[in-house]
Amino acid sequence: MKVVIAGGGFAGMKLARSLNNKPGFEVMLLDRFNYHQFQPLFYQVATSGLDASNISFPLRKAFHKSKNVRIRVSKIEEILHDQNKIITDQGEIDYDILVLATGADTNFFGNKQIMENAFPMKSTVEALQLRHRMLLNFEDVVVSKDQAYIDRLLTIAIVGGGPTGVELSGAIAEMKIYVLPYDYPEIDFRRMKIYLIEAGDKTLGTMSEKSSEQSLKYLQDLGVTVILKTQLTEYDGQTARLSNGESLQTATVIWAAGIKGNIPQGVDASLIARGNRIKVDRFNKVNGIENIYALGDVAYMETPLYPHGHPQVANVAINQAKNLANNLRWMEMKSNSRQLEEFEYHDKGSLATVGRNLAVADIPKPKMHFGGFTAWLIWMLLHLVLILGVKNRLQVFINWIYNYITYDQSLRLIFTEFYKPRSVDHLGEKKPELVAENTPA
């Protein structure tokens, strides 16, 4: 059975590893990058807490001893499901089973102006871009004499009060308190403002009321201004206009307000659900197509426990991949002695961290809530377990211990090779701009 897996994220990697060296399978894993990205820690790369290599793991290294898994760095351009073939930028590939585990990308909800000027954070490259931009802004503050320009550079707005927005806001706030005043003694960081803008009426909207209330208090204690029941409607690179009529002068808007599935061409529009997700049955098989499956963020499955689809989190993707691997093994054996297993997700809990010793955790069975140091410790241990590679786990752990003891990170590096001059600003100075290409939507 020739299985082609599109995407090296949590779902794709778990499926490939579950079929690794299993007789009867020939597996090809495709991704546009040659490494697996640990998305939950992108925000720590963006805020100089971790190096990009700490949360990235080479796909080929994961299968050094594999006899049946092969890697291709390529991007799917079109699916020809009637021919059991996909078209990639590297050529055509045939398959018996195609598994779409292409994940999700930033959803700007059709606002092109915000898409052009705000920073997304759905890849390692984008996290690095954000880190470089923020560090360069501080360098500009040091030499600038224009007070309005300085205030704009020292104002950061994060849009979206989910886990990514909350964690990023807290990390930037801790940089402001513990790190930046020592790096830049010339700057008065009392002028630095951090805003978290959320359209709903609470932060961490998918978690319990206790977690929402606690996370809000943690953010406010760190100096973050949280604006609820408000949307960002316009952003031209200098002025952010809000739905409540207010406006913010800011050079940095970070968009963490929504995601949408990455769907290749060739998937019928009738199969696409809300959030740009592909409709699948209880076995993760795309509706109406016998040999194409979808997993993780890109899959939309309705079940009794989740009638509106599963949450787009790593644990769902991993468990769907486990279930599909078991089913594919039974299919390959052509055994009628056992029926294929339907998928159902049993939530084991939710976690989010705000800062040092500050986190929230919800456990559904038995119904429990943790906050503060205990939740923060659980959050750290869980993420260490999920990171691929012993070396990466060790590096992340050492970085966290070092940061905890010293209140500092050592990764605030600006690599000017990443930049080229852009248009002259109102001060007559040329400002640097990234040349690394944004990940396509």
The tens digit of pLDDT for each residue in 57-96 reads 999 999 999 999 999 999 999 999 999 999 999 999 999 9
Cis geometry, peptide bond prior to residue 366 (ω within 30 degrees of 0)? yes
The domain that holds 88 is classified in CATH as 3.50.50.60
Q: Say yes or no: 203 and 295 in one domain.
A: no
> From CA 317, how far away is CA 304, in angstroms rounded?
18
Q: Say yes or no: 429 and 417 in one domain.
A: yes
> What local confidence, expressed as pLDDT, does residue 423 receive?
40
Instruction: Give the lowest-confidence range in 87-91, 291-295, 307-311, 331-335.
Output: 331-335
Q: Say yes or no: 125 and 244 in one domain.
A: yes
Q: Say yes or no: 231 and 120 in one domain.
A: yes
- Contact assessment for residue 262 and residue 299, using Cβ atoms and an 8 Å cutoff: no
Conformation bin of residue 48: beta by default, left when phi > 0, alpha when psi is -120 to 50: left
Average pLDDT over residues 127-156: 95
> What local confidence, expressed as pLDDT, does residue 336 receive?
58
> What local confidence, expressed as pLDDT, does residue 389 receive?
86
- Contact assessment for residue 260 and residue 109, using Cβ atoms and an 8 Å cutoff: no
Q: Say yes or no: 212 and 86 in one domain.
A: no
> What local confidence, expressed as pLDDT, does residue 419 receive?
46
The domain that holds 414 is classified in CATH as 3.50.50.100
Domain boundary among 333, 360, 379: 333
> What local confidence, expressed as pLDDT, does residue 338 receive?
67
Q: How many other CB atoms sit within 10 Å of the CB of residue 38? A: 25
Locus of tokens 């513990």? 178
Q: Say yes or no: 271 and 356 in one domain.
A: no
Q: SS3 letters for the chain?
A: CEEEEECCCHHHHHHHHHHCCCCCCEEEEEECCCEEECHHHHHHHHCCCCCHHHHEEECCHHHCCCCCEEEEECCEEEEEHHHCEEEECCEEEECCEEEECCCEEECCCCCHHHHHHCECCCCHHHHHHHHHHHHHHHHHHHHCCCHHHHHHHCEEEEECCCHHHHHHHHHHHHHHHHCHHHHCCCCCHHHCEEEEECCCCCCCCCCCHHHHHHHHHHHHHCCCEEECCCCEEEECCCEEEECCCCEEECCEEEECCCEEECCCCCCCHHHEECCCEEEECCCCEECCCCCEEECHHHEECCCCCCCCCCCCCHHHHHHHHHHHHHHHHHHHHCCCCCCCCCCCCCCCCEEEEEECCEEEEEECCCCEEEECHHHHHHHHHHHHHHCCCHHHHHHHHHHHHHHHHHCCCCCCCCCHHHEEEEEECCCCCEEEEECCCCCCC
Q: Say yes or no: 156 and 11 in one domain.
A: no
Counting the structural domains of the chain, the total is: 2
Supply the range of the domain harboring residue 119: 112-257+349-434
The tens digit of pLDDT for each residue in 22-51 reads 999 999 999 999 999 999 999 999 999 999
59 falls within a domain: no
Q: Say yes or no: 226 and 264 in one domain.
A: no
Q: How many CA atoms lie within 13 A of 396 on its CB side?
A: 26
To the question of pTM greater than 0.85 for the whole model, the response is: yes
Q: Say yes or no: 155 and 250 in one domain.
A: yes
Phi, psi angles (nearest 5°) of residue 225? -90, 115
Domain boundary among 333, 364, 389: 333
Q: Does the pLDDT at position 441 exceed 70?
A: no
341 falls within a domain: no
As a whole-number percent, the residues of the chain with pLDDT over 70 amount to: 93
> What local confidence, expressed as pLDDT, does residue 417 receive?
55
The tens digit of pLDDT for each residue in 364-412 reads 888 899 999 999 999 999 999 989 888 899 999 999 999 999 988 778 8
